[in-house]
Every structure is written in C-alpha cells, then in structure tokens.
Amino acid sequence: MSHKEPIHTLARAVIVDQDHILMAYHPNHKPPLYYLPGGHVEHGEGAQSALMRELIEEMGDKKFVTDRFLGVLEHAFIKNPQSTCCHNHEYNFLFQISSKNLTIAATPQSQEEDLAFAWIPLSELATIILLPEVLVTHLPAWLAQNHPTAFQTSMK
C-alpha cells in the first residue's frame, strides 16, 4: 500500500494478559505515544492476514491466534502542518489476539528498531497518550462485550 493514500486501513491486535494490554510505541518519542500493535492492510490482503503478517514483522513470533473480532473504529484527526504523516482518516480493524508466548512476564522484543512494546494496566489507559484517543472509551467496552455496536466513529 502506498502510505500516501488519504485514507488508511489498519489491522490492530488487542492482546491482554492479567488485566494488562500490550501497547506499541516509538522509543525515541517523548512523551511516548502508544498504539495497538499491527499496521497497514495492503491492497488485496484481508485484515486478519495483514494483522498476522504485521505481528510477525514486529515481534518475530508466528504463534498468534485470533480469538475474536472486536470492532472497527473510523477515525479522523487534525493533521499537524509540520508532520510527515500523510493521512488524517483511517479505519482500524481490532481483533483480540492471544499467544502462549505473550504474557506480562516477558515483554516482546521488537524486530524493528523504531518500535518497542510495553504492558499497560487496563485501568491506566486514560493516563497514557493512546492513539487514536477515542480507543480509551471504546476498547474497554469491546473487551467487556458490552459495546452497543462493533462500529464506532470519531467523525460527524
């Protein structure tokens, strides 16, 4: 996929262990901006296949299981004129993922030098800078299976 497209489609992993969620972040960015592991869905690729490919690229592990689809978040944000970001409209497909190798006892080592991982207590989601920000509201409800819909949007 060309990352210059105005709308991006992303597949994201929600990995939870002992009331902690695995988050990705750029280690050189201060303060840290957290987001769910995963990445872009390429043209002609399914969202689940893209997610598995991205997780293998990011963590090197190949033993991931898709437990369930959580939802889709359509999100728009205001572009910073100085940012190199090329889009401001995205669709995030969220899947709950598990792996015997992913526990809070062992934070995965990134296979990419500009990426790191951290386990964040679910109760502290509102205290971190989570992107997209509206996930702070929707993610706990999707995990608890009491969200009214699998589709949410931050757009009017």
Note down pLDDT in tens along the chain; length 156 residues: 445 667 899 999 999 999 999 999 999 999 999 999 999 999 999 999 999 999 999 999 888 999 999 999 998 876 655 445 555 789 999 999 999 889 999 899 999 999 999 999 999 999 999 999 999 988 998 999 876 778 877 776
Instruction: Answer yes or no: is 1 within a domain.
Output: no
State the pTM of this model. Answer: 0.88
- What are the tokens at 8? 């991006």
Domain that holds residue 45: 7-153
Instruction: Answer yes or no: is 12 within a domain.
Output: yes
Domain count, the chain: 1
Pairing of strands 20-25, 116-121: antiparallel
Instruction: Answer yes or no: is 2 within a domain.
Output: no
What's the CATH number where 34 sits?
A: 3.90.79.10
**How far is the C-alpha of 18 from the C-alpha of 74, rounded, in Å?**
28
Instruction: Answer yes or no: is 66 within a domain.
Output: yes
Instruction: Answer yes or no: is 41 within a domain.
Output: yes
Burial (CB < 10 A; 0-12, 13-18, 19+), residue 15, is buried
